[in-house]
A and B are shown apart, each in its own frame.
Chain A
Amino acid sequence: MTAAIELKGLRKSFGPTEIIRGVDLTIGEGERHAIIGPNGAGKSTLFHLISGRYSVSGGTVSLHGENISNLPPYEIYRKGLSRSFQVTNIFPNMSVFENVRCGLMWVRDYKYSFWHLVDRQKELNARAMEVIEEIGLTSRRNIPAGVLTYAEQRALEIGIAAAGGADVIMLDEPTAGMSHSETDQAIELIRKITVGKTLVMVEHDMGVVFDLADRISVLVYGEIIASDTPENIRNSKAVQEAYLGAEAEE
């Protein structure tokens, strides 16, 4: 079985500062993998490297065994990796429906077509409505995404990422800034949309992490210090010292 994502000696520096310092990580097909670590450990940077937002300084990123290092984001997306963002990143002046539909067009092979009329594409629109129903925004579908509440925007963010049916989905802090009930809903949503898919997520909320993840990697100062099942991570002394301990002191 090939791994969904494989990182080998991955490095990233900004000028003289090295943020990611040689990360080796294998994430299997269908796995729900969480990346945790203290602030500034480089979790988001790691996400940006895998999804093509940043160029790689050293090492390789492979998706299903294929080297995708330094490909532009849209090429990586077309190979089946989709992601959401930590800071909400949507199309604010377009309706919720349009946001989701845009997330569907490439995979439905519309590409840069100027000879299809989008409103006449029945399957495309039906699928967009299904996704909107899944993320619970059916009654809000016609309003501009920019005026949604924060939690709704987060749901839309996940919806856009998942709409295209990519088999690897990366979520960057999907529950950041949410209340308890909103977090519970978000977990349900993530569970629902990632059935049968590979999920990689960065998350600060340990409850969410231990609830969702099959495996957890701990990133500290640009290096993975442990990668194991939630149970073993919880009991690992090194992790407690480097991360959970630091958290408790705060």
Chain B
Amino acid sequence: MSEITKSAVSELSRPLRKTLMPWIGFVILLLALPNIFSSNVGLYTMNLMGIFIIFALSYNMLLGQGGMLSFGHAVYFGLGGFMSVHFMNYIEDGLFVFPMYLVPIFGGIIGLVFAIIIGSFSTRRAGTVFAMISLGVGELMAASSLIFVAFFGGEEGVSGDRTTGPELAGIDFGKDIHIYYLIAAWVFVTVALMYLFSRTPAGRMANAVRDNAERAEFIGYSQRKVRFVSFCASGFFAGIAGGLFALNFEIVTEENLNALTSGVVLLMAYIGGVGFFIGPIVGAVVFTLLQSILSNYTDIWQLYVGILFVLTVMYVPQGLTGIIMMHTAAWRMKRLGILILPYLRIGIPALAMLAGIAAFLETVHHMRTAVEGETLMSLMGIEYDSHGIVTWIVILVLTFVGGYLTRTQLPQLREAWETANKPPASTKGAAS
């Protein structure tokens, strides 16, 4: 073996310190967050974020890592939630003694069991066949949830109480901050496990089958079994997320396993970027923020999320993480500064255009939904007449002038981008 080959092999086993750094940073972040955002709303949002992070990452084991487009991933999340809430009630009734903070493991187990059953036939093919089966199974489960009332609790769902059972060092998880740390611990463990999974032979082959299922068969792997393993792991982690949902909200309803929730997880993973491990984390954070903050200001926040999703699919299929990653080359060459001014020059008119579009949507929404004769509306603290001619002039000017100015700024941004990313002339071609 030549020298270069030897050094290439040793570069794989990076020093442990370097490998652990991001994870230590992750722990510090998880511990620090509740001290920064200590309000009830903050905790509520972060708890939901944590649950969605696990859920979205488990979804990406299918879509991003394994090339399986699922429209029914909420099935495993919801079943995990229902199973966990039932176990919470068993513990409360004293049927058996089990610490409440470990209940999500039952969610994971039921997710795994159902993934084994459904995966045994749905992973035969990827693509359209897989997507259609996942949709069918999702609908089937949503329909059964209203039929099997004993397990799913009918329309009002099943509720539980997380403060019973053996306590952990005197903590009964009665406070939101307690449940935050519990979710944070679960997030850390499951994110680490899902990351490690992607670095195992099963995880690597999932990528290979995603890239080229046929060739994988000619190097010894059954594409179906590779998909099946990923599918089961994904169901397990989705079940854990569902269990945490049950612990956090102490209620699980049919809504947690229907198509809407399946759509939300697809949305989160895609907006964040399915091509990157951390993509779904970014997506879950952004989606939860939009959901909890935007919904305070506007009734049509879902429209904005939908627009964001469509724009992502059309213009940045690599997701928000992809946009960040695009800048790594310039950052390594210490040329990110070149881009600040061009971004400002295009950002300001672009913001004006977005404000114009948002004002248009909000005003139209107000005109359609407000009481007859009520024309005064308020947007971001500005009160104005939704039928006034001045209003519409302002909206049109913002939208079109902003849009025009954004267009005129495109060439200078492109130029700056090329300058920032030009490979250095003197050094070796490593940056290319």
Residues of A that sit less than 8 Å from B by CB: 51, 53, 72-74, 77-78, 82-83, 85, 89-94, 98, 101-103, 105-107, 110-120, 122, 125-126, 129-130, 132-133, 138-139, 141, 160-161, 163-164
Contacts and interface: CB of A to CB of B under 8 A. Distances in A.
Contact of B204 (A78, A90, A118, A126): A118
The 6 A-B pairs at the shortest CB distance, nearest first, are namely A106-B220, A110-B201, A91-B211, A73-B217, A114-B202, A129-B5
Contact of B225 (A112, A117, A129): A112
Contact of A89 (B200, B205, B212): B212
A90 B214 CA distance: 10
Contact of B202 (A94, A103, A112): A112
A12 B2 CA distance: 47
Contact of A119 (B12, B207, B226): B12
A89 B220 CA distance: 15
Contacts of B2: 133, 138
B222 A90 contact: no
Contact of A113 (B4, B200, B216): B200
A165 to B, nearest CB: 12
B219 interface: yes
A245 to B, nearest CB: 35
Nearest to A117: B199
Interface string B216-232: 11111110011001000
B220 A94 contact: no
A110 B221 CA distance: 11
Contact of B211 (A73, A85, A92, A160): A92
12 contacts: A74-B220, A91-B207, A91-B215, A103-B219, A105-B220, A112-B225, A116-B201, A118-B204, A129-B5, A130-B1, A133-B5, A138-B2
B205 A102 contact: yes
Where chain B touches its partner, the secondary structure class is helix
B382 interface: no
B207 A120 contact: no
A73 to B, nearest CB: 4
A72 B196 CA distance: 30
Contacts of A163: 219
Given A74-B217, A74-B222, A94 B208 contact: yes
A98 B226 CA distance: 16
Given A90-B215, A103-B219, A112 B9 contact: no
Contacts of A53: 214, 218
B393 interface: no
Given A74-B222, A83-B218, 19 more contacts: A72-B222, A77-B219, A78-B220, A85-B215, A93-B210, A98-B204, A102-B204, A106-B219, A107-B220, A112-B202, A112-B226, A113-B200, A114-B233, A118-B201, A119-B12, A119-B13, A119-B199, A129-B1, A138-B2
